[in-house]
Every structure is written in C-alpha cells, then in structure tokens.
Amino acid sequence: MPSTRSFPTVSINRSEPLSDSELVRRAKKGEEVAFGLLVERYQRPAYAVALSVTGRHEDAQDAAQESFLVALDRLEECRSPEKFGGWLMTIVRNRSKNLVRRESLREMEEVPPGARSRVPTPERVAETSELRALLKEALMDLPEVQREIVLLHDLEGWKHREIADRLDLPCGTVRSHLHFARKALRDALRRLATEPEMLRAAR
Amino acid sequence: MNRRYEDMLDDGMERDMELADALASLDPASHDPNYWLRFRSWVMRSAARELAHRRLMTQLTIGDVVQSWARALVPTAVLTAVVAGLMLIHGGTLAPPRPISVEEMLMRGIDREALPTTLPADPSPDVVTFASEGF
C-alpha cells in the first residue's frame, strides 16, 4: 500500500550550495529540505519586492509568504528552473499588486467620500522608528521599478547583474534606475528630515 | 566590460553605505532577530501538505496504480461475467433459428420445421422464408 510505505530520508549536504534548478527538481518531488532551501534563499528578496509594491510590512509579508505557496503549487509551470528566482519574483510582484488592488477597493468601500485616503493607521502612528517611516514614505514616491531595484541592491545586497537577470532588464538600465532611485531617496530623506511634522502630515 | 570587472565595480564603487544603513531599518530582522526563521517556518508549515502529496505521487509505482485500478476493476469484471453467463444460460433456448441458404437446404435438409404451414402476413426477408417461397 503506498500510504503505509516509509519514504527514504532526504539528505542534502548544506555545505555545498545547490543550484536553483537542482533544488526545484527536488522540490517537485516533495523534498522538504530542498523547498526549505529555496525559501531560505529567496525569502528576503521576495519580501523586498513585495515591500516595494505594497509599501506596508504586513502586506509585504503576506504577499511574500503566499507567493512561495503559489510557486510550490505551480512548480511544473517553471519552464526554466535555473531562473527560479526571477519566476518567483514575478509571482511576488503580481500577488502584491493584487493585494494592493484589493486593499484600495476595500478602502474605497470603507472610507466615506471626501475623506483622506492616506490617513495614518494606528500601526503607522505607533511606528517605533521615525527613520523607517520617513524611508517608507520616500520609497513610495519612487517609481515601482526603482523601488524594487534599490531594495534588492542596497537592502538585499544583490549585484547589478543578478538584478538584471532576475528582472529581465539590461544591466545599464538597472544601474541607471539605481542611480536615480538613490538620488531621489537621499533628496527625499533630507527634505523629510528637515520638514516640520505638521507640514508632512498635511501632504 | 567583462562580468568579473562589473561585479568588482558593483561591490566597491557604488555601495552607498549611508543609504544601505538607512534601508537596513526596513529589514524586519533589524528589530526582530527571529523574524526570518518564523517566516520560513510559516511557509514550511503551510506547504507541508502539498509537499507530502508530491512525495506520494513520486513514490507511486506502476504496480501501485494497477493495484488501485484492480480494486474497482476486478469486482466489476466478475459481476459482468456472472451477468453474461446467466444471460447465456437463460437465453440459449430462445436463440433465433440459424439462417440457411438454399443450396445448404437442398444438400442437407432442414433440422426443424422449415416450411411454415402459413406464411405470415408480412414475411421477413430472411433466407428460410425465401427458400420456402421458392419451393
């Protein structure tokens, strides 16, 4: 009987880095260790990409976590397992966009007409770090692709080449986006840091 | 520009440490050291069922598949055979007369009553009827 059969123990030597395609191949067979390594490898970039779209920690977390489950369900659709990272980021981006769309629809239904749509939530008010709040605000003013690139590069430490491969963009475009994103961020941070809080709240 | 040189450039020249430090505050682990561990655990817990299903699918052999089919197929086949047997036994006496050609009839004769005493109102166009009409 298949249900009573004991499965062979899966062992992966974690000292030698396995390629994405090898991990995907094993995860397709249901090897927990392989899928766990993929999660470990991509959880931070997935969160960064989700944060670049949603701008909120809770939404980014939900979108990133759900994306791993969707990726596992659709693993057979990953035509190039060596490009698993890029494929996963597409899922993350789409799920994050859907989440934002749903949230904004809910806000439109809940918030009475004429009310400000970006009222600070209790979580936002209670945010411990002022810098974090400023940074999020500055990030959300950037175009989405620039947010994603600056987070992957400066937060996750990805190289230009990796970002270019994963986002399917020329390396020069990635560099240029990164340059403009940083400049905009620095300017925004400087401006937000010197701007009185009252003015900021009114924006 | 070769790839190695690009990577060196990437690592050395363009790292904006001040901005990187500021962005590091967006990393949930900066104020919750176990965050990524919990993140991974949640994903793995939620994925456990799908992974188990995939393991099961991989472990299934042709024998297992045949065995699972057999569970439904064997009783159905036995039942069909029994029904067919019963129909043969009970239906044997009601078998229609075998068609017979004129030549065969002339050569060997007819076992049963071949020439009806009266023809039916609407004679069926079978061989026996044809033969009887011919004679």
Cα–Cα distance for residue pair B132/B112, rounded to 1 Å: 13
Average pLDDT, stretch A104-114? Answer: 62
A186 lies in the same domain as A131:
yes
> What letter does residue B11 receive in the DSSP assignment?
H
CA of A112 to nearest chain B CA: how many angstroms apart? 32
Coil, strand or helix at B7: helix
Q: Give the rounded percent of residues in chain B with a pLDDT score beyond 70.
A: 59
Q: Output the domain CATH number for residue A185.
A: 1.10.10.10
Contact: B14, A178; criterion CB under 8 Å? yes
A134 lies in the same domain as A198:
yes
Residues of chain A with C-beta less than 8 angstroms from the C-beta of B42: 65
A54 lies in the same domain as A87:
yes
Contact: A2, B59; criterion CB under 8 Å? yes
Higher pLDDT, A82 or B19: A82
Q: Is there a domain that residue A42 lies in?
A: yes
pLDDT digits (tens, 9 = 90+) for A143-175: 888 988 988 888 888 888 888 888 888 988 998
Q: Is there a domain that residue A122 lies in?
A: no
Q: What ipTM was predicted for this assembly?
A: 0.70
- Domain that includes residue A173, residue range: 127-203
A108 lies in the same domain as A136:
no
A78 lies in the same domain as A38:
yes
pLDDT digits (tens, 9 = 90+) for B53-110: 999 888 776 777 777 777 778 888 889 999 998 888 876 555 566 677 777 777 776 6
**Is residue A54 over pLDDT 50?**
yes
Please give the tally of structural domains in chain A.
Answer: 2
Q: What is the pTM of this model?
A: 0.62
* Of B44, B50, B58, Cβ closest to residue A39: B44
**Is residue A123 over pLDDT 70?**
no
A165 lies in the same domain as A79:
no
Domain ranges of chain B: 1-59
Average pLDDT, stretch A23-47? Answer: 94
List the end-to-end C-alpha distance of chain A, in Å, as a whole number: 66
CA of B7 to nearest chain A CA: how many angstroms apart? 7
A80 lies in the same domain as A162:
no
pLDDT tier for residue A190 given thresholds of 50, 70 and 90: confident
Residues of chain A with C-beta less than 8 angstroms from the C-beta of B27: 44, 155
* Of B26, B40, B54, Cβ closest to residue A29: B54
Best of A3, A153, A192 to disrupt the B interface (most B CBs within 10 Å) is A153
Q: Give the rounded percent of residues in chain A with a pLDDT score beyond 90.
A: 33
Identify the domain boundary among A48, A82, A112.
Answer: A112
A103 lies in the same domain as A26:
yes
Cα–Cα distance for residue pair B1/B32, rounded to 1 Å: 41
Identify the domain boundary among A89, A112, A135.
Answer: A112
Closest by CA position to A72, among listed B131, B53, B61: B53
B40 touches chain A (CB under 8 A): yes
pLDDT at residue number B12: 46
Interface A-B, measured as beta-carbon pairs within 8 A, has a size of 108
Q: Is there a domain that residue A194 lies in?
A: yes
A63 lies in the same domain as A87:
yes
Q: Is there a domain that residue A195 lies in?
A: yes
Q: Is there a domain that residue A1 lies in?
A: no
Max Cα-Cα span within chain B: 118
Cβ burial of A96 (10 Å; 0-12, 13-18, 19+) is buried
Contact: B23, A154; criterion CB under 8 Å? yes
A134 lies in the same domain as A158:
yes
